[in-house]
Amino acid sequence: MSEQHGHPHPPHEHHEHHEHHEPGHGHGSGGAGWSARWRHKAGHLLKPHSHEAADKVDPALESSARGMRALWISLAVLGVTAAAQAVIVVLTGSVALLGDTVHNAADALTAIPLGIAFVLGRRAATRRFTYGYGRAEDLAGIVILLTIAGSAAFAAWAAVDRLLNPRALEHVWVVAAAAVIGFIGNEWVARYRIRVGREIGSAALVADGLHARTDGFTSLAVLLSAGGAALGWRLADPIVGLLITAAILLVLRDAAREVFRRVMDAVDPALVDAAEETLLAVPGVRGVGELRLRWIGHRLRAEVAVVVDGELTVREAHEVAVDAEHALLHAVPKLTAALVHADPAAVPGTQDPHLVLAHHGV
């Protein structure tokens, strides 16, 4: 089957649709098609909305703005948390708390590449970047993974160095208090980033939230270090530092899975099922051929071929394609663009209209 090109739009990330149905043109389904169309328009009177370009850009910009807001708020919270812990590290010399502090600082700094990605994602598509700049979020996700890996390496180095050169932990109760502060700050940031990331569809922001959540649990692990030191166990601090390193590696695995799936254009199969069911319910659509969904940043784009009555005029087939696109935009969350190609239904004894493309392997 060919790539969808029967319903073209200019190469912009958001395109507009103008209702231009002329009297006398239906969906090839007689009164039923017009009845469905008027029921749909009546619904618009009760719940007015639009799919003009400006209306579709606004929610996309709002999602980016929410992502930026989440980044800066969490950056401030983590910055204060890391600064407070850093002062206590200087006073106590705790290597476990040092590892936690470095991880908190690194987590705060991941807001920078992700913020750049959100800003780039707002830029309009160009003739070179015809899908826009949403993929910058995937690059930011990779930077976040490298940052997590770097903080794991540093925490491991500090813990091994302390194992080889043990020293007494001073001001144990101050270290314990710092650990509690670290947990509270990181868990709040984790919940906030993950919630906003899932709401706007940003895998990178979700990965950053998972990063913060691990920081919270590693802060609790520092409590074990302080408890062991209070009991006179000098190796408690570096051993907990190694446990923190292991926890960081676990979150690295989970975050890598999120980012890898997004880079590889993976989507939730439930979204594909929902899209297919929606298309089959559109008057005039006899079947669904090729259906593809992909994330571009935190926005979804669809490409689909629908089967229509081969006796329809070009204008009637186009109306079915527009209705199919309209239905998809309503049914699939975070979908901001869809390219719909209308294929004529197969007629026994006639040649497949796509046969000329067979040797291209499409």
Q: What is the pLDDT of residues 138-160, one digit of tens each?
A: 888 888 888 878 877 877 887 78
What does the pLDDT average to over 27-35? 43
Given a cut of 50, is residue 315 above it in pLDDT?
yes
Q: What is the pLDDT of residues 198-223, one digit of tens each?
A: 887 777 788 778 777 777 777 777 77
Please, what is the Cα angle at 231 between 230 and 235, to 5 degrees? Answer: 90
Confidence category of residue 318, pLDDT binned at 50, 70, 90: very high
Q: What confidence score (pLDDT) does residue 3 get? A: 39
Given a cut of 70, is residue 262 above it in pLDDT?
yes
Q: Extract the tokens encoding 14.
A: 């958001």
**Least confident segment among 188-202, 301-315, 332-346:** 188-202
**Least confident segment among 31-35, 266-270, 322-326, 330-334:** 31-35
Q: What is the pLDDT of residues 51-70, one digit of tens each?
A: 333 333 344 445 667 777 88
Q: Extract the tokens encoding 86.
A: 């850093």
**Would you call 297 exposed, middle or buried from its count of C-beta atoms within 10 A (0-12, 13-18, 19+)?**
buried
What 8-state DSSP symbol labels residue 359? G
Q: H or E element: which one contains 305?
A: strand 299-308
Q: With H, G, I as helix, E, B as strand and everything else as coil, classify residue 166.
A: coil
Q: Extract the tokens encoding 177.
A: 């208090």
The number of residues making up the chain comes to: 362
Choice between 323 and 207, residue whose per-residue pLDDT is larger: 323
Q: What confidence score (pLDDT) does residue 277 get? A: 94
Q: H or E element: which one contains 294?
A: strand 287-296
Given a cut of 80, is residue 104 above it in pLDDT?
no
What does the pLDDT average to over 251-261? 85
Choice between 3 and 278, residue whose per-residue pLDDT is larger: 278
Given a cut of 50, is residue 14 above it in pLDDT?
no
Q: What confidence score (pLDDT) does residue 342 get? A: 92
Given a cut of 80, is residue 250 above it in pLDDT?
yes
DSSP 188-256: HHHHHHHHHHHHHT-HHHHHHHHHHHHHHHHHHHHHHHHHHHHTT-TTHHHHHHHHHHHHHHHHHHHHH
Given a cut of 90, is residue 93 above it in pLDDT?
no
Choice between 15 and 100, residue whose per-residue pLDDT is larger: 100
**Least confident segment among 3-7, 71-75, 300-304, 309-313:** 3-7
Q: Give the Cα separation of 285 and 341 in Å (integer).
A: 11
Distance of CA 44 to the CA centre of its chain: 30
- HEC profile of 261-288: HHHCCCCCHHHHHHHHHHHHCCCCCCEE
Q: Extract the tokens encoding 228.
A: 């062991």
What does the pLDDT average to over 107-135? 83
CB 67 within 8 A of CB 298: yes
What does the pLDDT average to over 303-331? 93
CB 3 within 8 A of CB 362: yes
Q: Centre a 10 Å sphere on the Cβ of residue 137 and count the other Cβ atoms it contains.
A: 29
- Sign, CA dihedral 303-308-310-312, equals negative
Confidence category of residue 324, pLDDT binned at 50, 70, 90: very high
Q: In what order do the strands lie in the sheet with 287-296?
A: 287-296, 299-308, 335-344
What does the pLDDT average to over 175-202? 83
Choice between 257 and 40, residue whose per-residue pLDDT is larger: 257
Q: What confidence score (pLDDT) does residue 211 get? A: 72
Q: What confidence score (pLDDT) does residue 362 get? A: 54
- Tell me the backbone φ, ψ of residue 265, rounded to 5 degrees: 65, 30
Highest mean pLDDT among 1-10, 22-31, 91-100, 173-182: 173-182
Residue found under tokens 């208090």: 177
**Would you call 48 exposed, middle or buried from its count of C-beta atoms within 10 A (0-12, 13-18, 19+)?**
exposed
